[in-house]
């Protein structure tokens, strides 16, 4: 995704080794995204969803 304009209003982006990656949204629109780092670099993404009732 180098040098591309994104037309997304709200998103979380992760840039690792010069490459950009969009982090997926929680399935139901509520939740959290946890990024685990090791040696100064992101290694894992945990996505938790919460369904509002």
The domain tally of the chain equals 1
48 versus 10: the higher-pLDDT residue is 48
Any domain includes 50 = yes
Gap between the Cα atoms of 49 and 31, Å rounded: 4
CB neighbours of residue 10 within 10 Å: 5
Range of the domain at 47: 25-53
Q: How far is CA 53 from the centre of its chain?
A: 25
Check residue 11 and give its pLDDT: 84
Query: For residue 39, is it within any domain?
Result: yes
Q: For 1-41, write each residue's pLDDT tens digit.
A: 555 676 777 888 888 888 888 888 888 889 999 999 999 88
pTM of this prediction exceeds 0.75: no
Q: Is residue 7 part of a domain?
A: no
């Amino acid at each position: 995704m180098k040098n591309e304009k994104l037309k997304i209003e709200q998103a979380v982006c992760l840039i690792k080794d010069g490459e950009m990656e969009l982090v997926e949204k929680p399935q139901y629109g509520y939740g959290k995204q946890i990024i685990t780092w090791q040696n100064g670099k992101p290694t894992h993404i945990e996505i938790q969803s919460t369904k509002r009732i």
